[in-house]
Amino acid sequence: MAFHICSAQAIALQTPRGEQLEVIATFPPGQGPFPALILAPGSGYHMTLPILEEVAKQLAERGVAVYRFNWAYFSKDPKAGRPSENLTREIEDMTTVLNHARRETRVVASRIFVGGKSLGTGVSWSLLASNKDLRGALLLTPVCSNLKDGTVVTEADENYPGINAEKRPISFILGDQDPLCSVGVLYRFAASAAGPVRVSVLSGNHGLEDPALSSSAKDVAKLRSARLAGALAAEFVAQYAQQNAP
C-alpha cells in the first residue's frame, strides 16, 4: 500500500520594512500546482496551535497548500509584542507571505484564498478587499461584536466593511460562547453578503474552548473543536478552489 504524505517546510521571509517572518508551508503530495490558503494567526494564537494546525493538515489532505505564519511582532517578542495601529504592519506581513506564494511554482496563483483567526480575520479581510484576484476568505473566530454595559454592540461592519458588495465566497467559523462575536449578530451580518457565505457554529468560546469543563474534558473538547474547524475549513476551500471565479 502506498502512503501519500503531506510535506511541511519552514520558511524565513523578510518584509519590505526589514522584519523577519516565520512561515510554515504545508503542501499536498505531488508536484502540483495546487490551490493555496494564506492563513494568519490571532493576536497571541500562534501558527502551531491546534486550530491552525488542523486547518493546514486537513486542507493539505484535500489538495490545497497552506502557508501559516506568525506576526513579526510575535516572533520578536511573544509576551510583550503588540499589533500596530490600524494593523498596517500586519497587513504588510500577510502581503509578504501572499506574494511569496504567488511566486511558488507549486501554487496556482489564480486560486489563492486568505484566512485567519481573530485578529487574522481583519487582516485577511483587508487583503481580500485590495486583491481582487483572491478567491475567497476563511474567517475563524471573527470579531463581530462586543458587550458594553450589558448590551451587545455590533462591530462587524467596522471590521469587515463592504460585505454587501462582496461576491466572492466567505466562511465564518465561531464558537457558540464567543464573547467577541455573538452568533445572532454574525448571522444577521452574514445575511447581507452579496455572494455565497457560510456560518458554522461550534461549541466553545473565542478559542473554541469550554472553560466550564474539567481540565481533561476541556482538552478533549478543544481538540474535537479544532478538528471540526479544520474539516469545515477544508470543505469550504476545497469546494470553491475548484470552481470558476465569480
Instruction: Look at the chain and report how many structural domains it folds into.
Output: 1
218: which residues sit within 8 A by CB, 6+ positions away?
209, 210, 211
Percent of the chain with pLDDT over 70: 97
pTM higher than 0.75: yes
- Whether 2 is covered by a domain: the verdict is no
Domain containing residue 120: CATH number: 3.40.50.1820
pLDDT at 78 > cutoff 80 = yes
Q: What is the pLDDT of residue 243?
A: 80
Q: Which of 67, 82, 72, 80 is nearest to 14 (CA)?
A: 72
Q: What is the pLDDT of residue 4?
A: 57
Cell of 91: 497587513
pLDDT band at 194 (very low <50, low <70, confident <90, very high): very high
- Whether 110 is covered by a domain: the verdict is yes
- Whether 246 is covered by a domain: the verdict is no
Percent of the chain with pLDDT over 90: 85
Cell of 156: 462587524
Radius of gyration of the chain (CA): 17
pLDDT at 27 > cutoff 70 = yes
32 versus 136: which is more confidently predicted? 136
**In Å, how far are 132, 160, 181, 193 from 165, measured between CA atoms?**
13, 11, 22, 7
Main-chain dihedrals φ then ψ at residue 35, nearest 5 degrees: -60, 165
- Whether 1 is covered by a domain: the verdict is no
- Whether 32 is covered by a domain: the verdict is yes
pLDDT at 176 > cutoff 80 = yes
By three-state DSSP, how is residue 166 classified?
A: coil
pLDDT per residue as tens digits for the range 203-235: 999 999 988 888 888 889 989 999 999 999 999
User: Do the beta carbons of residue 163 and residue 140 sit within 8 Å?
Assistant: no
- Whether 91 is covered by a domain: the verdict is yes
User: Can the peptide bond before residue 33 be classed as cis, meaning omega within 30 degrees of 0?
Assistant: yes
- Whether 41 is covered by a domain: the verdict is yes
Q: What is the pLDDT of residue 1?
A: 36
Lowest mean pLDDT among 65-69, 124-128, 172-176, 210-214: 210-214
User: Do the beta carbons of residue 141 and residue 175 sit within 8 Å?
Assistant: yes
Domain range holding 40? 7-241
Cell of 136: 475567497
pLDDT at 191 > cutoff 60 = yes
Q: What is the pLDDT of residue 211?
A: 85
- Whether 195 is covered by a domain: the verdict is yes
What's the CA gap between 63 and 58, in Å, rounded? 9
